[in-house]
A and B are shown apart, each in its own frame.
Chain A
Amino acid sequence: MVWLGRPAHRQNGAVWGDEALGSAQREADLARLIEGVARGERAALQALYDATAPKLLGIILRILKDRAAAEDTLQEVFVRIWQRSGSYDPLAGAPLPWLIAIARHRAIDRLRQDRSARLTQAEDGWFERLADTSDGEADLARRDALAQCLDQVAMPQRDCLVLAYCEGWSREELATRFDRPVNTIKTWLRRGLLSLRTCLETP
């Protein structure tokens, strides 16, 4: 069941809080750091690391579940950022989604390489966190819109989207969980994406 109300307690317990990311000013700071990295400035990479590594590690760890593998992947991510920062185009999007995308792709690539079965334990609480506006500066408009629109995605499809995006579940893993053919899962995913896109693009 999805609950979009505000949780009674704050999720934000990390030393390095969500408020360090998301606001326009912070986005501009991140963009500047990435530009510095593109010029080969090691100090810029270190500052970028300090600002984003904990968040990216959280995201990677959620997918890989294994701490050592996650830290290993985080290392790959920052080496890749060092090598590829020239490919960041500020006009094409905000820096944080770009960084998150690199981290998630690396994590998922690693996950798919590891053929061994893994524990696919769904974790609840995404929507609560998404709807939790108490941590201030994160990009509230986007977050709010995503929460609203995810809520409108029909149920098995929504779970598929969230499990795939946040936890790295494959079509096959989703098929097992929902006891449906892989092609059905694919259809659900696409319908879910379509529904989400339609909602987000409706003013």
Chain B
Amino acid sequence: MSGSGIPPDWQDDPDLAAGEYVLGTLSPDERAAFAEALEARADLRSAVAAWEARLAPLAATIPAVAPDPALWTAIAARIRPAAGAAVAADAVPAHPVAAGDRIVRLERRVRRWRMTAATAAALAAGLALWIAAGGTAALREPPHYLAVVDRGGTLPALIVRVDLRAGVVQVRSLAAETPPERSLELWYIDAGAAPQSLGLVPGETARLPIPAALRTRTETATFAVTVEPKGGAPDGKPTGPAIYSGRLIRD
């Protein structure tokens, strides 16, 4: 009854716990524990969604308030982060991103990840993935990289460099804990075309060539990392959840 340890209420009536979660009246401990349980339990997620739908008309009656016009500008700046600022925003270790680089954030596709690869949820939760690909030819430092950075000690991290001029993606895995019996595979998806595999994300450093035919269209292409059966997608087509995807954006 009193709230220490795992809330026993869920066993009695998870649906009412879900209702209280939606109301926002769970104690901070219960709320955090419930949110964590949501990650793993589809039944709780659908119970929460049902309460959200039931109660939403009440919220929808609240009169609208026009935001300050500057607010969108602030949001726009955050979703297309400037070099450096982007890194800080997610508390990712600051890599020196050269001015003029192109940056892309590879978004996590959390939902599909959750549904199909629950065992590896920690992997998705712990990663943030960034691409910085060199733009101008004059840059002296290695101008291209994509990094996957971990936030926890046991979670895997990748550093990936994308060299568009040489047409090479270099993947380096740090402390990688690929889900058991799974492989991570890197894909290149041209607009409107089927995904093309660039290869498996290896346990150690590897260079994956970007096919020459694709190099000129990298501006419009999407890169993605999916979870595949051990050894990679059997038919050359992605079968698992895309845990990251993103495209190059000219800065």
A interface residues, Cβ below 8 angstroms from B: 11-18, 21-22, 40, 42, 45-46, 49, 53-55, 57-59, 61-62, 70-71, 74-75, 78-79, 82-84, 86-89, 92-94, 96-98, 100-101, 104-105, 108, 112, 126, 129-130, 132, 138-139, 142-143, 146, 150, 161-162, 164-166, 168-171, 174, 183, 185-186, 189-190, 193-194, 196-197, 200
Instruction: Tell me if B219 is interfacial: C-beta within 8 Å of chain A.
Output: no
Assess the B76–A46 pair: CB atoms within 8 A.
yes
Contact A87 to B65, CB < 8 A, known contacts A161-B23, A197-B54: no
- Name the residue on A nearest B115 (C-beta): A89
User: Roughly how many angstroms separate A146 CA and B61 CA in the complex, as a whole number?
Assistant: 12
What are 19 A-B interface contacts by the 8 Å CB criterion? A40-B246, A42-B79, A42-B80, A53-B72, A55-B64, A57-B66, A74-B71, A82-B79, A86-B110, A86-B112, A93-B53, A101-B56, A130-B61, A139-B60, A143-B57, A161-B23, A189-B23, A190-B16, A190-B19
Taking CB atoms, residues of chain A closer than 8 Å to B25 are 164, 169-171, 174, 185-186, 189
A146 to B114, CA, bound (A): 32
Instruction: Return chain A residues, CB-CB under 8 Å to B107.
Output: 40, 83, 86
Residue B52 interfacial (CB < 8 Å): yes
A83 to B79, CA, bound (A): 9
Flag if A75 contacts B78 (CB, 8 Å): yes
- Expressed in whole angstroms, the Cα–Cα distance for A138 and B56 within the complex equals 11
Which of A18, A71, A197 is within 8 Å of B71, CB to CB?
Answer: A71
Contacting pair A54 B1 (CB below 8 A): no
Asked whether any CB of chain A lies closer than 8 Å to the CB of B58, the reply is yes
B75: A residues at CB distance < 8 A: 45, 49, 75, 78-79
Residue B153 interfacial (CB < 8 Å): no
Residue B116 at the A interface, CB < 8 A? Answer: no
In the bound complex, what is the Cα–Cα distance between A152 and B25 (angstroms)? 21
Q: Dominant SS at the B interface?
A: helix
A142 and B60 CA atoms in complex are apart in Å by 11
* Interface size classification for chain B: 35 or more
In the complex, what residues of A have CB within 8 A of residue B24's CB? 104-105, 108, 164-165, 168, 170
- Closest partner residue, chain A, to B22 (CB atom): A101
Chain B residues with CB under 8 A of A126: 58, 61
In the complex where A40-B247, A87-B110 touch, is A54 in contact with B66 (Cβ < 8 A)?
yes
Distance between Cα atoms of A166 and B61 in the complex (Å) = 10
- Cα A21 to Cα B114 in complex, Å, equals 30
Select from chain A the residue with minimum beta-carbon distance to B27: A171
B74 at the interface (CB under 8 A from A): yes
* One of A71, A104, A185 near B59 (C-beta < 8 A): A104
Tell me if B64 and A16 are in contact (CB < 8 A): yes
The distance in angstroms between the C-alpha atoms of A53 and B109, with both chains bound, is: 24
Interface string of B206-248 (1 = CB under 8 A from A): 0000000000000000100000000000000000000001110
**How many angstroms between the C-alpha atoms of A13 and B54 in the bound complex?**
25
Contact B16 A53 (CB under 8 A): no
> Shortest distance in angstroms between B44's beta carbon and chain A's nearest beta carbon?
12
B37 neighbours in A (Cβ, 8 Å): none
Q: Is the CB of B64 within 8 A of A57?
A: yes
A89 closest partner in B (C-beta): B111
Smallest CB gap from A45: residue in B: B79
Report the bound CA distance from A166 to B22 in whole Å: 11
Do the beta carbons of B57 and A142 come within 8 Å of each other? yes
A181 nearest CB across to chain B (Å): 12
- By the criterion CB–CB under 8 Å, are A98 and B52 in contact? yes
Nearest CB in chain A: distance from B102 CB, A: 14
Query: Distance in Å from the Cβ of A68 to the closest Cβ of chain B?
Result: 10
- A53-B71, A87-B110, A164-B25 known; A21-B65 Cβ under 8 A: no
Seed contacts A46-B72, A58-B64, A61-B65; 8 additional CB < 8 Å A-B pairs:
A18-B61, A42-B79, A46-B76, A54-B66, A100-B56, A138-B61, A139-B57, A142-B56
A54-B66, A183-B1 known; A112-B60 Cβ under 8 A = no
In the bound complex, how far is the Cα of B50 from the Cα of A101, in angstroms?
Answer: 11
How many angstroms from the CA of A194 to the CA of B19 in the assembled complex?
9
